C-alpha cells in the first residue's frame, strides 16, 4: 500500500528553467515575435525622439557659436563706422563678462577704475531688467505706467517723483503684473541716471574720436578692404585708436572674413555687369544702334538652361560649386577685366564697346581662383544650413535636460506611449498563458519557478526588442537629422550621449517588459491552479 | 520532510474504519459554488466521503453533476467554498505552497478530462516535466519517460507535440504523465472517454494492475460500464450530492438497477 508523506518541493535547477523557458519561446515564436515587435516599435519611437533631441541640442550649441563667429566681421564693421547709442552700451555691458574685450574696451574708453566699472555693470544689469520689463508689457499698460518713455528715457522719466508715483500706483492696481525689483532698489537706480549718461556719453565721445582716427587711415579704401588688411598695419591702426583688437585672435579671423565677404560681394556684383555695343548709324540722321549684353548672366543662363532674365544670385552660387563652371566664370572675369582697363574700345568696323555696372578697380580679378570660388560657394550652403539649424533649434536649451520645452514634452509623451505599449503587449502575452501556468502548478511547479520563467522570458524579449528598437530608432533619428541639418549635422553627433540614450531605452524597454510580465504572472502563480485556469 | 509537516501529521491519528482500512482522503461538508456574472452555480452541495488507501473507487453521475469539481477539491487543485479536505489526515488548507507543490508532484497523479498537456512540449517532455519538478536527473527522467510512453503504446511518438496527436493519443500521454512520479493516489477524470474499445480495455487493465500490484489508490470518474468490473466501490453523484455509495459486490446483486441512476 502506498502511503502519503509530505515534504517541501525542491527548486528546479536554473539550467532546466532556462531550457523550458526557451522551448516555450521557440514554440510560440510567432506570438513572441509579435510581442517583441511591439516592444521594438515602442523603444524605436523613444530612441528616435531621444536621438533627435540630443542631436538638435548639440547642433544648437554648435551653430550658435559658429554663427556668432561668422558674424564678427559685421560687428566690427558696425563698430568702426558708428559709435552706437547709450542703450546699446548699457546692454552690451550688462551681458559682458569682466574678461571680455568689450568690457575692457568700454572701461578704457570711460577711464573707469575696476570698481567703478563693476558698479557700472551692476547698474547696467538693473537697467536692462527695467527696460525689458516694460518691453514685455502691452502698449496700454506700459503707457499707463511710464507714459511714452523708452530705453534709458525710462530712467529719466521715473527720476521725476510724480512719474514714479504714477508708476507705483499703476503697478499696485494691475495685479497680474509681477515686478521683481524691490522698490527701494528702483528708487536708487533712477537716481543713478546721471551717472549712467555721464559714463555712456564719455564712451560715445571716446568711440567717435577713435572712429575718426581709424577712418583717417583708410586711404581711399573701403572699410571692408581695410579690414582685409587687419593682420598688418590696419590692425595696428585700430589698436592705436583705442579699440581692443587682438593681434593673435581677432585680427586673423576678421581679415579672413573680410576677404571672404569682399570676394563674395565681387562675385555677386558680376551679375550686374553690362557690355553695350554701339554701332555707328548706317544711314545719315539715324540713331546709333545699341546692343546690350550681360556676360555673366548669359553664361549662367546657358549653364542652367534658363532665360538670362531669370538668372539670380542663388543660381550663381549653386553652379559655382562645380569647379569646371567656376573656371569658365573666371575666364570671363579676366575678359571683363581687360575690357575695363580700356575705358572705351573702338573696333575695326567702327562700333564701340562700353562696360557698365563696374569700375576698373572693381573688375580686377586679383588673386581670385576657381578653387576659391568653389570654396566660397560651398561655404554659402554651409552657412545656409547653419541658419536653418539655428531656426530649427530655437527652443533648445530650455526645459528638461536642456532639450527644449517642446522636445522634453515630446520625450515625456513618447516614454508614456512606450510604457503603455510594452505593458499592454506583455500583459496580453501572459494572460493568454494562465492555462499553462495552472497546468504547470498542477504538475508540482513552485510559484518561484513560474516567476523566474516569466522574468527570464520577458527580459529576453525586452532585451531583443530594446536592442533592435534602439538601433532602428537611432538610425531613423540620425538620418532625419542629416536631412534637416545637412553639413551642420556632422560636427554635432553626440556619440556618448547617444550611447547613453540607447542604454536608457534598452533598459527602459526591458524593465517595463519584465515588470508588466511579472505582475500578472505573480497574480496567476499565487492562485490555486484551477482558479488560475478560470481567469479569463 | 519538514518539522511543521511532521507535526501536522502527528497531530491527527490515522483514522481506521471498522474493517481496519486506512482513510487516505476524507472530505467534510464539502461545498463549492461558482459565481459568474452574479449568478451562483452550486457545483457541490455538501459531500462527506472517506476514501480508503489502496481502493479503486469509480465515481459516476450525469454530465454537470460535479464530478470534475469534486476531483479538483480532493486533488488539492482548488479551494472549497465551505468544508474541508483531509489528505492522509492532513488538512489541505493548512499546507504551505511548497508542501502543496510537493504533494501535487509526488503523491497525486492527475488525468484531466481535457488532458491539459503543455502545448509547446513533446510527448516525452510532457511526461518528464513532473519528474524535473521532482528533482529527477534528466537522463533518468528520459529513460523513465520512454518506458511510461511504451506502457501506453506511444513509444514511437515521443517527439510529437499535442497538436500532432489525436484525442486518444493525447489522453494516453496524459495518463503516462500522471504516472511519472509513482503517485500514491491517481485521480482520473474519464480516462477512457476518447479511446476505442481495445485501447480503453488496455488502459483499464493498466489501472487495475497499478491498483492491485502497486497499491495505488485510484479514484476514477467514468461513464464506462466496464469500470464496474474492476472497481472496489461505486459512488454516484447527482446535482452536487452523493446519491449513493456501494461496494461492487452489492451492486452486482441488483442487476439492472445501475442504469436507472
Ligand atoms: N468555472 C466554472 N464556473 C462556473 N460554473 C462551473 C465552473 N466549472 C463547473 N461549473 C458548474 O459546476 C457544475 C459541475 O461541473 P463539473 O465540471 O464538475 O461537472 P462534471 O460532473 O464533471 O460533468 P462532465 O461529466 O460533463 O464532465 C456544472 O453545473 C457547471 O456548470
Ligand atoms: Mg467533468
Q: Which helix (H) or strand (E) holds B111?
A: strand B108-111
Exposure string (b/e) for A207-222, b if CB count within 10 Å is 16 or more?
Answer: beebbeebeeeeeeee
The answer to whether residue B259 scores a pLDDT higher than 60 is no
Pinpoint the alpha helices (H) of chain B. Answer: 3-11, 67-74, 97-102, 123-133, 138-151, 167-178, 197-213, 227-230, 248-253
* Option in B2, B129, B214 nearest A443 (CB): B129
Q: Within this chain, do residues A303 and A371 fall inside the same structural domain, yes or no?
A: yes
In a domain, A177, yes or no: yes
Q: State the DSSP code for A286.
A: P
Total structural domains in chain A? 3
Please give the mean pLDDT across all residues of chain A. Answer: 84
pLDDT computed for residue A492 by the predictor: 66
Q: Which CA distances in Å does A36 have to A50, A379, A441?
A: 20, 46, 27
In a domain, A22, yes or no: yes
Nearest residue (CA) to ligand 1, atom 14: B66
Which of A392, A412, A428 delimits the end of a domain?
Answer: A392
Q: Within this chain, do residues A236 and A120 fall inside the same structural domain, yes or no?
A: yes
Do the chains contact at A444 and B133, CB–CB below 8 Å?
yes
Mean pLDDT over A42-49 rounds to 87
Per the DSSP assignment, residues forming a β-bridge with B90 are B87
* Option in A12, A23, A447 nearest B121 (CB): A23
Residue from A444, A442, A434, A446 nearest A517 by CA: A434
How far apart CA A241 and CA A76 sit, in angstroms, is: 14
Q: State the DSSP code for B13.
A: P
CA B72 to ligand 1: nearest atom: 18
In a domain, A60, yes or no: yes
In a domain, A250, yes or no: no
Q: Within this chain, do residues A374 and A421 fall inside the same structural domain, yes or no?
A: no
pLDDT computed for residue A396 by the predictor: 61
- β-pair type (A344-346, A352-356): antiparallel
Ligand 2 centroid to residue B28 C-alpha, Å: 21
In a domain, A264, yes or no: no
Q: Within this chain, do residues A63 and A36 fall inside the same structural domain, yes or no?
A: yes
Mean pLDDT over B116-124 rounds to 90
Q: Which residues have C-beta within 8 Å of that of residue B230, sequence separation ≥ 6?
A: B56, B204, B207, B208, B211
- Cell 526591458: give the residue: A510
The answer to whether residue B150 scores a pLDDT higher than 70 is yes
Which domain covers residue A424, as residue numbers?
14-67+395-533
In a domain, A257, yes or no: no
pLDDT computed for residue A7 by the predictor: 75
> pLDDT for B172-183, tens place per residue?
999 999 999 999
How far apart CA A324 and CA A317 sit, in angstroms, is: 13
Q: Within this chain, do residues A427 and A401 fall inside the same structural domain, yes or no?
A: yes
Do the chains contact at B98 and A4, CB–CB below 8 Å?
no
Q: Within this chain, do residues A140 and A163 fall inside the same structural domain, yes or no?
A: yes
Q: Which helix (H) or strand (E) holds A417?
A: helix A405-431
Q: Which ligand is nearest to the CA of B43?
A: 1
3-state secondary structure of B192: coil
- Backbone phi, psi, residue A273, to 5°: -70, 130
Q: Which of B10-14, B46-50, B195-199, B234-238 bottoms out in mean pLDDT, i.e. has the lowest?
A: B10-14
- Backbone phi, psi, residue A345, to 5°: -110, 135
Q: Within this chain, do residues A100 and A193 fall inside the same structural domain, yes or no?
A: yes
In a domain, A325, yes or no: yes
Q: Within this chain, do residues A328 and A220 fall inside the same structural domain, yes or no?
A: no
Q: Within this chain, do residues A194 and A338 fall inside the same structural domain, yes or no?
A: no
pLDDT computed for residue B260 by the predictor: 43
Mean pLDDT over A31-35 rounds to 84
- Band the pLDDT of B10: cuts 50, 70, 90: very low
Q: Within this chain, do residues A85 and A229 fall inside the same structural domain, yes or no?
A: yes
Read off the pTM. 0.65
Mean pLDDT over A267-284 rounds to 81
The answer to whether residue B11 scores a pLDDT higher than 80 is no
Nearest CA in chain A to B103: A6
* Option in B79, B119, B130 nearest A444 (CB): B130
Which of A349, A370, A392 delimits the end of a domain?
Answer: A392
State the sign of the Cα–Cα–Cα–Cα dihedral A31, A34, A38, A39.
Answer: positive
Pinpoint the alpha helices (H) of A71-192. Answer: 72-79, 86-95, 101-110, 114-135, 139-146, 153-158, 161-173, 183-191
How far apart CA A473 and CA A465 sit, in angstroms, is: 12
Mean pLDDT over A282-310 rounds to 83
Grid coordinates representing A51 are: 536621438
Per the DSSP assignment, residues forming a β-bridge with B42 are B33
Q: Which residues have C-beta within 8 Å of that of residue A260, sequence separation ≥ 6?
A: A376, A379
For residue A133, with 0-12 CB atoms within 10 Å meaning exposed, 13-18 middle and 19 or more buried, which class applies? middle
Which of A196, A218, A242 delimits the end of a domain?
Answer: A242
> pLDDT for B81-109, tens place per residue?
999 999 988 899 999 888 999 999 999 99
Q: Within this chain, do residues A105 and A223 fall inside the same structural domain, yes or no?
A: yes
In a domain, A385, yes or no: yes
Grid coordinates representing A499 are: 550611447
Q: Within this chain, do residues A30 and A85 fall inside the same structural domain, yes or no?
A: no
Amino acid at each position: 500500500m502506498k502511503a502519503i508523506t509530505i515534504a517541501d518541493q525542491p527548486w528546479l535547477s536554473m539550467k532546466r528553467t532556462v531550457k523550458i523557458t526557451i522551448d516555450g519561446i521557440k514554440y510560440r515564436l510567432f506570438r513572441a515575435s509579435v510581442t517583441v515587435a511591439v516592444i521594438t516599435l515602442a523603444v524605436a519611437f523613444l530612441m528616435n525622439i531621444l536621438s533627435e533631441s540630443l542631436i538638435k541640442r548639440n547642433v544648437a550649441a554648435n551653430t550658435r557659436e559658429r554663427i556668432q563667429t561668422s558674424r564678427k566681421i559685421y560687428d566690427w564693421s558696425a563698430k568702426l563706422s558708428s559709435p552706437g547709442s547709450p542703450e546699446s552700451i548699457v546692454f552690451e555691458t550688462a551681458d559682458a563678462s569682466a574678461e571680455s574685450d568689450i568690457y575692457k574696451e568700454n572701461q578704457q574708453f570711460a577711464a573707469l577704475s575696476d570698481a567703478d566699472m563693476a558698479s557700472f555693470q551692476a547698474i547696467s544689469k538693473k537697467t536692462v531688467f527695467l527696460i525689458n520689463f516694460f518691453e514685455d508689457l502691452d502698449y496700454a499698460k506700459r503707457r499707463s505706467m511710464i507714459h511714452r518713455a523708452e530705453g534709458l528715457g525710462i530712467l529719466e522719466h521715473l527720476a521725476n517723483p510724480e512719474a514714479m508715483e504714477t508708476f507705483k500706483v499703476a503697478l499696485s492696481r494691475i495685479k497680474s503684473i509681477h515686478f521683481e525689483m524691490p522698490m527701494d532698489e528702483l528708487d536708487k537706480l533712477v537716481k543713478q541716471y546721471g551717472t549712467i549718461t555721464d559714463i555712456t556719453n564719455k564712451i560715445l565721445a571716446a568711440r567717435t574720436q577713435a572712429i575718426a582716427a581709424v577712418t583717417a587711415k583708410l586711404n581711399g579704401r573701403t572699410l571692408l578692404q581695410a579690414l582685409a588688411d587687419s593682420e598688418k598695419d590696419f590692425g595696428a591702426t585700430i589698436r592705436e585708436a583705442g579699440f581692443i583688437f587682438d593681434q593673435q585672435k581677432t585680427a586673423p579671423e576678421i581679415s579672413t572674413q573680410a576677404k571672404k565677404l569682399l570676394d563674395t560681394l565681387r562675385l555677386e556684383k558680376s551679375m550686374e555687369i553690362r557690355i553695350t555695343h554701339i554701332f555707328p548709324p548706317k544711314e545719315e540722321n539715324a540713331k546709333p544702334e545699341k546692343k546690350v549684353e550681360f556676360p555673366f548672366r548669359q553664361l549662367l543662363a546657358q549653364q542652367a538652361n534658363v532665360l538670362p532674365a531669370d538668372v539670380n544670385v542663388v543660381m550663381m552660387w549653386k553652379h559655382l560649386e562645380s569647379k569646371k563652371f567656376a573656371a569658365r566664370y573666371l575666364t570671363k572675369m579676366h575678359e571683363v577685366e581687360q575690357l575695363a582697363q580700356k575705358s572705351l574700345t573702338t573696333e575695326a568696323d567702327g562700333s564701340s564697346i562700353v562696360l557698365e555696372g563696374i569700375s576698373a578697380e572693381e573688375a580686377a580679378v586679383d588673386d581670385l581662383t576657381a578653387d576659391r570660388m568653389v570654396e566660397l560657394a560651398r561655404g554659402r550652403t554651409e552657412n545656409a544650413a547653419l541658419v536653418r539649424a539655428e531656426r530649427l533649434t530655437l527652443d533648445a536649451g530650455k526645459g528638461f535636460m536642456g532639450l527644449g520645452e517642446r522636445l522634453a514634452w515630446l520625450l515625456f509623451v513618447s516614454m508614456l506611449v512606450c510604457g503603455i505599449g510594452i505593458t499592454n503587449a506583455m500583459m496580453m502575452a501572459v494572460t493568454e498563458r494562465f492555462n499553462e501556468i495552472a497546468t504547470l502548478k498542477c504538475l508540482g511547479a513552485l510559484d518561484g519557478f513560474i516567476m523566474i520563467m516569466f522574468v527570464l522570458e520577458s527580459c529576453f524579449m525586452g532585451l531583443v526588442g530594446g536592442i533592435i528598437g534602439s538601433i532602428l530608432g537611432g538610425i531613423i533619428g540620425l538620418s532625419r537629422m542629416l536631412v534637416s541639418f545637412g553639413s551642420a549635422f556632422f560636427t554635432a553627433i553626440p556619440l556618448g550621449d547617444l550611447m547613453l540614450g540607447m542604454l536608457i531605452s534598452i533598459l527602459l524597454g526591458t524593465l517595463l517588459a519584465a515588470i508588466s510580465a511579472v505582475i500578472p504572472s505573480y497574480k496567476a502563480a499565487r492562485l490555486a491552479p484551477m482558479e488560475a485556469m478560470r481567469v479569463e | 520532510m519538514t518539522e511543521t509537516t511532521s507535526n501536522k501529521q502527528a497531530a491527527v491519528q490515522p483514522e481506521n474504519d471498522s474493517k481496519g482500512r486506512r482513510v487516505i482522503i476524507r472530505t467534510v461538508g464539502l461545498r463549492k459554488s461558482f459565481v459568474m456574472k452574479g449568478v451562483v452555480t452550486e457545483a457541490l452541495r455538501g459531500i462527506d466521503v472517506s476514501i480508503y488507501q489502496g481502493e479503486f473507487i469509480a465515481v459516476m453521475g450525469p454530465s454537470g453533476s460535479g464530478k470534475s469539481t469534486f476531483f479538483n477539491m480532493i486533488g488539492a487543485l482548488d479551494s472549497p467554498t465551505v468544508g474541508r479536505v483531509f489528505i492522509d489526515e492532513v488538512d489541505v488548507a493548512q499546507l504551505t505552497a511548497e508542501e502543496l507543490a510537493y504533494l501535487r508532484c509526488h503523491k497525486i497523479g492527475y488525468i484531466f478530462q481535457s488532458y491539459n498537456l503543455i502545448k509547446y512540449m513533446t510527448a516525452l517532455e510532457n511526461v518528464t516535466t513532473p519528474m524535473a519538478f521532482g528533482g529527477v536527473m534528466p537522463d533518468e527522467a528520459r529513460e523513465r519517460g520512454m518506458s511510461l510512453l511504451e506502457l501506453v503504446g506511444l513509444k514511437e511518438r515521443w517527439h510529437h507535440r499535442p497538436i500532432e496527436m489525436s484525442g486518444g493519443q493525447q489522453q494516453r500521454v496524459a495518463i503516462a504523465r500522471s504516472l511519472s512520479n509513482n503517485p500514491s493516489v491517481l485521480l482520473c477524470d474519464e480516462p477512457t472517454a476518447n479511446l476505442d474499445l481495445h485501447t480503453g480495455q488496455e488502459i483499464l487493465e493498466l489501472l487495475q494492475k497499478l491498483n492491485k500490484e502497486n497499491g495505488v489508490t485510484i479514484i476514477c470518474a467514468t461513464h464506462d460500464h466496464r469500470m464496474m468490473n474492476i472497481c472496489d466501490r461505486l459512488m454516484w453523484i447527482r446535482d452536487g450530492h452523493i446519491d449513493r455509495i456501494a461496494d461492487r459486490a452489492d451492486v452486482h446483486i441488483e442487476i439492472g438497477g445501475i442504469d436507472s441512476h
